[in-house]
Structure 1
Amino acid sequence: MTLHPTRDELRAEAFGWMAHPERVLDLLTTPDPAPDPAPGRPARQRPRVIAHVHLHEAALHRWGVARVEELGPLLLERLAGLVAGADIELKPVIDLTDRTRVTAYEHPESVKERVHLRTIGDVFPHATRVARNLDLDHPVPYDRDGPDGQTGDHNAAPLGRTDHRAKTHLPYTVRQLGPHDYVWRTPHGLYRHIDATGTHPIDPDEAEELIRDHALQQAIDTIERDLGLTG
């Protein structure tokens, strides 16, 4: 007599799989079995899986490690098993040195992608959320009657919804110093410097100096651009 697992046993097994997402991806990317010879029986449809894989050039020659979003670092051998049997769509290389300015409120998709790749996640002080589905805030508030080119790589900060509301409705201020470089001032007068390595407390005088230096460089860049001195 064949005993079948109960529903509770199946639920327990499913929870165990959820604790190991790489096993789930293995299941989803396993090649379909051979067609069933019985007529009229439909073959299993392979679900569509999207995997964002980031490789440094050195990984191909020395390190042998890739970073997979939502999973973390994987050996290249393990990555090969992850995509085995899957239809692979290669995306073009994204140059993170590109800069785009547009005269519109919404950030273009190309800017959203570059901002995510530069920052990885929420840039609110001490935030730990690593995700793509974040709000893209204007550190310098958008002015519908303001000049052209207010939106772009120079004015984009990914924030979780709660952090975005805090920035909007509470006396937080933020200045973007670079593509992934921000200085925040909290409602209590504390300064925090956010960069690719995380959140760092910073002395108020040092913070203000960073902001002034950035404003001066912006003014120089604007003058040079208006005079046609830059490419």
Structure 2
Amino acid sequence: MINPYQTLTAQITDIKDEVLNMKRFWLKLDEEFDYSPGQIIFLSIPGFGEAAFAPCGKSDDKRTVELCVRHVGKLTGKLHAMKIGESVGIRGPFGHGWPLNNFQNRHPEPFAKSQDKLREGSDGRYEGDSSTLPQNDKKKNILIVVGGMGLVPLRTLLLNREKYLPLETKIQIFYGARTPDDFLFKENFDQWKEWGIDLHLTIDKACSGWNECVGVV
């Protein structure tokens, strides 16, 4: 088990310019580094400090952490100036992450035992009259309303949706940016739509060639 207070060395293996003043970094560690959607990590550079960031990548490769970072100060400025092959410090993860287990259709044990019309099936789920189900156990869908960099931590959930969410979960996203050039992760948009994610894009002010929504998120 990783000690979240121990700083690990991570090597920059790839860098991509995302949008103005924002870059994406792929960091490779020598040992497995597991995290879940909603958690954060701390990145440090000797002489430049330490700051918290939310991973934004797919969690299949437990030795790689993907970050999307805006240049806003001393630490992030140094990170933006670094090259592939250089190293930074990583520690974490911190936080409990989002309560995604609430999307699994299971009954809390005390409630299930008190319901005469319910019985536990062989798969561990409860069967019977659905009218007796509490709201917590009915099918849940996800509505995401997010602007700008707010999509960064949510991307981890979207890329790993099969791991954390029931297959029948419907996801609807309203994602806003100032201009069409300011949207993050544009390479994922068509893929998400193919997965059945209902994605709506909106910009702050109308501009030539824009045919989708207009309005501030």
TM-score scaled by length of structure 2: 0.24
Report the structure number with the largest CA radius of gyration.
1
Relative contact order, CA 8 A, sep 6+: which one is greater?
A: 2
TM-score scaled by length of structure 1: 0.23
Going by fraction, where is helix more abundant, 1 or 2?
1
